[in-house]
Amino acid sequence: MKKITVLHYINQFFAQIGGEEQADHPVEFFEGEVKGPGLAFMQLFGDEAEIVGTIVCGDSYFNERHDETLDAIIEFVDRIHPDLVIAGPAFNAGRYGVACGAVAAGVQERLGIPALTGMYVENPGVDLYKDKVLIVSTKNSAAGMRAAVKLMAPLALKLGRGDAIGASCEEGYISQGVRVNFFEKQRGSKRAVDMLLAKLSGKPFTTEYPMPDFDRVDPQPAVKDVSKATIALVTSGGIVPKGNPDFIESSSASHFGEYDITGVDELTSEGYETAHGGYDPTYANQDADRVLPVDVLRQMEREGVIGKLHNKFYTTVGNGTAVASAKAFGAEIGKRLVGDGVDAVILTST
């Protein structure tokens, strides 16, 4: 039986070229080579499929040159013309997820070649491409690589063979919002009663009709007199004292930092830097005020535009950080700010 041929798309990190400092790495084609997660796929494919080449591109390079890069990738895929294209998995890396979704969708739409990718449900690539390509649901970091590949490999083989694909709950991909008729083993009345009893007993159950979760935040009333207000700075841009004393992670942050800026008029390169791994740190490391504007607020404080700048700032890294973690950080930071009598917050990002 003929082996299924596969082309694999990965970013600069998983190709072991480098991290964020290599995010502008141009697209490269490695015909006949297997790299990074491709090795794990090959183990699970056995004799049924083989990766016949790897496409590598930096996350920033792809997203900043989307059309021309995608055209080049499509041209290479068309020349090799595999049975299947796999992109990623991208986990919760936003730019990587968008690139994986674009490659998979482009290959399917332009060449008619099936494609598969994998992402964490909160990755922005999911909302952009879940209705266009199959996206296997993964954990939020590369620590879940083994589990992701284990889910993706059998689905990839099905796609490569042209087999019928089952429901998302059976195959492990993120729902595409398409309803398909099928025969359930138990009648609806029994399933409904079982769910109700489980809910009343506090036991876990899975609804058959999940509702969308709209996160709405009502705006606070405007500050009546900013000239008498205490203003605090909070950032997801990762600005920390030099050396990152609390070891805030560059991605998928597990905590935030609280730092005293009493008597600090500006964030110099000698005293501050960024821990963030999701953008080029050069300019933030040269002058951290570009992300956290202590210098401007000190000037406004002296001029009486604001009452005063709060003597502490709070910081974390938004790159790949799960929404649940970010909500927990926000709740705790908010509690501390209210306790300190802060009137308003300026929240900065990257």
Q: Per-residue pLDDT tens for 216-228?
A: 888 889 999 999 9
Q: Could you name the CATH architecture of 4-171?
A: 3-Layer(aba) Sandwich (3.40)
List the Cα angle 193/195/201 in 5-degree steps: 100
Backbone angles phi, psi at 231, to 5 degrees: -110, 135
pTM > 0.75: no
Tokens linked to 34: 């297997």
Backbone angles phi, psi at 108, to 5 degrees: -65, -45
Tokens linked to 52: 């016949």
Query: What distance in Å separates the CA atoms of residue 248 and residue 315, rounded to the nearest whole number?
Result: 9
Lowest-pLDDT choice from 94-108, 141-155, 310-324:
310-324
Q: Per-residue pLDDT tens for 53-87?
A: 999 999 989 988 999 999 999 999 999 999 999 99
Which among 86, 79, 105 is positioned nearest to 7, based on CA atoms? 86
Q: Per-residue pLDDT tens for 167-179?
A: 887 888 998 877 7
Q: Where are the domains of the chain?
A: 4-171, 226-348
pLDDT of residue 318: 87
Which among 348, 242, 346 is positioned nearest to 290, based on CA atoms? 348
Tokens linked to 22: 């290599």
